[in-house]
């Protein structure tokens, strides 16, 4: 009975991770297309990144304690972590470019 509940729990956890996972490629595509960082929060993305990293560490710790391989859903955590990391990297790159462009325009107007 408990093993079946564990499988059901893993199924719904995977569903949650897939739903979260679909939002990141959409966000990344918009960022790449527009190159605009307005409306994005670096602090929010850093918290989400930290949350996924914590989830991965928890999964690995549980697996090590049980002497087993990590659950398959752990790969969804890793995939989401990578997408958030890419989002942060692109944010920093595009934000820096926007600031440099704004500084250049301000210098020409002076």
pLDDT tens for each residue of 63-95: 999 999 998 899 999 999 999 999 999 999 999
Q: Which of 54, 47, 46 is nearest to 77 (CA)?
A: 54
What is the value of pTM for the model shown?
Answer: 0.84
* pLDDT computed for residue 16 by the predictor: 86
pLDDT of residue 2 exceeding 70: no
| Domain extent listing, the chain | 2-109
DSSP state of 71: P
Candidates 3.40.50.10490, 3.40.50.300, 2.60.120.620, 1.20.1280.290; CATH matching 2-109: 1.20.1280.290
The residue among 67 and 14 whose pLDDT is bigger is: 67
* pLDDT computed for residue 1 by the predictor: 58
* pLDDT computed for residue 107 by the predictor: 66
Cβ neighbourhood burial of 110 (10 Å; 0-12, 13-18, 19+): exposed
């Amino acid at each position: 009975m408990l093993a079946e509940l564990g499988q059901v729990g893993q199924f719904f956890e995977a569903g949650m991770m897939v739903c979260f996972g679909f939002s990141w490629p959409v966000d990344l595509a918009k960022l790449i297309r527009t190159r605009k960082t307005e409306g994005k929060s670096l602090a929010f993305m850093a918290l989400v990144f930290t949350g996924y990293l914590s989830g991965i560490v928890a999964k690995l710790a549980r697996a090590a304690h049980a002497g087993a391989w990590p659950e398959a859903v752990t790969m969804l955590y890793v995939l989401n972590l990578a997408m958030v990391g890419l989002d942060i990297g692109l944010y920093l790159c595009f934000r820096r470019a926007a600031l440099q462009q704004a500084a250049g325009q301000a210098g020409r107007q002076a």
